[in-house]
Structure 1
């Protein structure tokens, strides 16, 4: 599937958590398909960098600083979209964090931090986005979950709980707005070489065997877990996002891009 198969010309997209990684990959894919794309992120510099790359493609963009934990900040983000771009056709809620620890090790603060950003943040963004989409009579909302929203992983019980929650929320919300021309779906990345997996503090470092480097552990996990034998990329996630942004009758789904790992 290539982005050229799906035209998003004239569409306005908002990527929350679009400053880097998967969010930036989705933003670039939507822009290449023709959308004007706003980038919202907690880090203003990262948001500005992605917005600048989108403008190089000849699309309109803007950077918005947002804290998805704060209802007022989320409402201000949507007010900026409406003021500067007039409408909202596509929203991707990708903001999220991860930390590692067994259930025995986890602190209440770690649990609360993940739930506040990964799950409450999705709720707050969806609620605000819905109000603007209703004014236009249609919309496409894509919430980033994870393969960990379908399959549990050791040392990620809190993250897994938050991502299972995103899928359940997405399915229920989709049914609430199904008659309004608004679709709501969850995108479930598989093993992507971002901070959750890479580095000595990521899963490939934590799960390295005796005498094994982080890089060797990363390669082993790709081979062992993925039927295709190789990790996915942010651009892979962008391909699915373009499809979901174009599909009027796909809603309430949790779709994985994971090289065949999950059912």
Structure 2
């Protein structure tokens, strides 16, 4: 991303859920492109962890605590950004959670938890971010969805519902603000080796064949799901976010970074 057309120098960028995993990778990529970062996460400790990743890569970052499910918390986050920076140019609404269970096993609480963070949280953040971006008639909103928002996966009906919702929401809002200098897109990660997939409680553990190790299951799913045969990385997601943050005429899209899995 050294090409000057992908420069975010002078821009202020927010990443929610930026403490670890995909969010941290996105934050580092935006910082390396020149943006000054605000890392927001559910706890200040996680937000500070994300800031440390950005600073280790030579970038600037500040930490904020936010509960994306609560309107007052989201409004306080945006107010703090406006007070400290006077603007918000790029917002990556990445905070998300996942749990696993068949449709008959899922509890109402599991359904509500996932929808509250993954979809309600994206709505509340986008709403507040656009209010601030309108003052400058410029903004880039990137909402993290998933390939599970393009095709359903077993044991993830609630997660898929939330991510299908993020894609539809992003497309609709993009059309609302299309003439205001603001773009809105959805990022759809494929198979990334974070908590949703890895470990005995992740998908590679849950979907392991009898006698198959979690590691072997992880390798098998990469080979079977992905035409390229290899998982994607948080750095891959960061590169796409830099592109979307610099692309004035790409809006309303659900962009998959998934090694050729989806159309």
Q: Which residue of the partner structure matches residue 79 of structure 1?
A: 79
Q: Which residue of the partner structure matches residue 163 of structure 2?
A: 163
Q: Which residue of the partner structure matches residue 129 of structure 1?
A: 129
Given that 2:15 and 2:93 are in contact with CA atoms closer than 8 Å, whether structure 1 keeps it comes out as: yes
State the SS of the aligned residue for 1:256.
strand
Give unpaired runs (5+ residues) of structure 2.
none
Q: Which residue of the partner structure matches residue 232 of structure 1?
A: 232
> What is the CA-CA distance between 1:53 and the residue it aligns to?
2.9
Change (3 A) 1:58 1:197: closer
> What is the CA-CA distance between 1:50 and the residue it aligns to?
1.6
Change (3 A) 1:32 1:217: same
Give unpaired runs (5+ residues) of structure 1.
none
State the SS of the aligned residue for 1:178.
coil
- C-alpha separation in 1, matches of 2:55 and 2:74: 24
Map 1:81-120 → 2, pairs under 5 A: 81-120=81-120
Given that 2:32 and 2:57 are in contact with CA atoms closer than 8 Å, whether structure 1 keeps it comes out as: yes
Change (3 A) 1:205 1:223: same
Given that 2:24 and 2:53 are in contact with CA atoms closer than 8 Å, whether structure 1 keeps it comes out as: no
- C-alpha separation in 1, matches of 2:176 and 2:60: 32
Given that 1:167 and 1:186 are in contact with CA atoms closer than 8 Å, whether structure 2 keeps it comes out as: yes
Change (3 A) 1:3 1:185: farther
State the SS of the aligned residue for 2:34.
coil
TM-score, L = length of structure 1: 0.98
- C-alpha separation in 1, matches of 2:208 and 2:129: 41
Q: Which residue of the partner structure matches residue 198 of structure 1?
A: 198
Q: Which residue of the partner structure matches residue 208 of structure 1?
A: 208
Given that 1:81 and 1:87 are in contact with CA atoms closer than 8 Å, whether structure 2 keeps it comes out as: yes
Q: Which residue of the partner structure matches residue 31 of structure 1?
A: 31
Q: Which residue of the partner structure matches residue 64 of structure 2?
A: 64
Q: Deviations over 1:109-140 (max 9, x none)?
A: 11011111000000000000011101111100
The answer to whether the aligner puts 1:221 opposite 2:221 as a matched pair is yes
State the SS of the aligned residue for 1:185.
strand
